[in-house]
Chain A
């Protein structure tokens, strides 16, 4: 219980921030979908011929898997809130359009006939009769849309739109169930609360509808007032959203990371240094999906700085095959990034995090495994596991398999956070992990030596947009203070504290900086 309180107190401010982001994403997209969806639904009820084709398109949108939808929007709208809002709005459309159409089309014929014979105009019939009578069906659609939005919004974390999904993605990445729940439980509660809230709104509207002219209440017989109220609420929402986006006026530095523990810690180290020693506001865009997502976001100018590894850049971004020594790789990568992408590599942090081909100590003992070549002869009896990204990369599994002639019985793709657990529990026999992971010693795992020099050097260093490094020398100077400060042991220990002691990356990073005296002001400041 005390642990739970401590956890909640530590994460409280972040929880509120993420909850607000999540609410803005959900309410914003549902709000936009209500306006668009009602309009489409009403127009379709007037144009029966268009119903088939339009509903087919909207239905098809719904069948696109959420992650695929985000991936499709990524090149068009970049990362962040905009593509997330667009994706969520598209998902929310179907239930609203369908229910609006069903609600209006399902009204009794004699009522509509009466409207015509009594002299309702088309517009009066719509506002005074059709919409009020279809209201319960339409509201059911809106409630469905809102609940779907809360769920899909958790995926927005993959493209840097924030929200409770950040906790879930990070929790999965660092193997921290409490963190996953910190995202999942409030998301579920938010869905229930929104559904309930909309139900109350529905009841109010129904009651109001049933007293059409009984009093002079401003909304009762006045669709204009209702419209104005709706527009005001929308404006309030947009204002809230804009305020949320704008943050404060100081130049903001956006620190990004990929979605695994070490990246969070490195991003925190950089972010906290910048917060401590510069006047810039710092925004964290953590948990971006993969090297390609972050790289594109950097090129598009959507984020400013993130930690990267020379080998990853060398193979996955620059597509180079040969393996060179550490210093040469760094020079070549730095040169190529400057020329091709207008990005700068700052001096390295001081350690290397290479891909590590891992087996349990027991398996290593039994078969006398020391180098990667040693598993060639027993590979047909083994299952190898790795993160999905490792399969796709130029320095990934297919090339490794060919270089070492490894013919595994089977392979398994899984979340990187689950990989070590799976290896320890014997569900896989070989894993492609990373050399600085804190679980290697804890789980009694053995790293096999890369005897054929397959993996390039993977020195970790900050990558920064030249647009920023050229104009803000103070940012460069501050980040350079981290240069050479972290060795592999220190990194592995920090990873271990996050992965196994379930501490937050922020507090582990803060402790490291304090111990190193890096938070002290420099003499000249």
Chain B
């Protein structure tokens, strides 16, 4: 579905830069970009829907280079979920969910019905919450609306930039479970950015480990743990596992 070929992006400050790298993401796959801050994982995500443009290389979506798409319609057809949630504070929950269908000028009545379905899908009682304003909702509820908004665009591809980073552990766990179930039942392709190792293990079909703008290894959690390709990957997984083991021995 997505092909990155020798894509590079540099900044004057080096932070978040990408070395030339290539990556292939299949339809229906849940891919997690895992790395610490400055690793380039968010940069990679933003290149896909042209929030950023690469310095070199090519990104293709369904075989077609993204630079051939009009950026506005490209974005309207790719779901996006933010760490900052970014709900429009002057619109009610249902209006926020309807953002993209309305920008596109979709049929209002049909979209409106679907918006209620999407709210139910993210386990938010649509009847109760549809007319609430975002600031009346908890952080977890707000991000459920954020996910519903991304799904309501009807996109097959969702880009998620540390969407649960600001939530407490319990809420994060609930939303992770919800997201994984949705992804499987709807067969969506998701590119998900996080720095949280356990989140990556729980959600990903494949994990892309990024370090200082380079791909260290790509593979399932099992492959990364059992056959680390680089010392960095080995360290990344062995340290927390070692810590767990230490606890168990006591």
Contacts and interface: CB of A to CB of B under 8 A. Distances in A.
Interface string B119-132: 00000000000010
B164 to A, nearest CB: 16
Contacts of A120: 72, 103
Interface stretch (B12-20, B84-92, B178-186, B207-215): B84-92
Interface stretch (B94-102, B225-233, B241-249): B94-102
Interface in B73-89: 73-77, 80, 82, 84-89
A211 interface: yes
B133 A210 contact: yes
Interface residues of A, number: 22
Given A213-B95, A214-B131, A221-B102, A119 B75 contact: yes
Contacts of B76: 118-119
B194 interface: no
A129 B88 contact: yes
A213 B98 contact: yes
A209 B75 CA distance: 25
Consensus secondary structure, chain A interface: helix
B49 A133 contact: no
B95 to A, nearest CB: 5
Contact of B75 (A117, A211, A212): A117
B27 interface: no
Contacts of B85: 110
A212 B91 contact: yes
Given A129-B88, A209-B90, A213-B98, A119 B82 contact: no
B51 interface: yes
A212 B89 contact: no
Contact of B51 (A110, A116, A133): A116
Nearest to A124: B103
Interface in A200-250: 209-214, 221
Given A133-B89, A133-B90, A209-B90, A118 B84 contact: no
Nearest to A206: B90
Contacts of B89: 111, 133
Given A110-B86, A111-B86, A117-B51, A211 B92 contact: yes
Interface in A164-216: 209-214
B137 to A, nearest CB: 15
- By Cβ-Cβ distance, the 9 closest A-B pairs, closest first, are A114-B86, A110-B84, A119-B76, A119-B75, A117-B80, A212-B95, A110-B86, A212-B91, A213-B95
Given A117-B82, A118-B103, A129-B88, 11 more contacts: A110-B86, A113-B86, A116-B75, A117-B49, A117-B80, A118-B99, A118-B100, A120-B72, A124-B103, A212-B92, A221-B102
15 contacts: A111-B86, A116-B51, A117-B51, A117-B82, A117-B86, A119-B73, A119-B74, A119-B77, A120-B103, A121-B103, A124-B103, A210-B90, A211-B92, A212-B91, A213-B91
Interface of B: 49, 51, 72-77, 80, 82, 84-92, 94-95, 98-100, 102-103, 108, 131, 133, 149
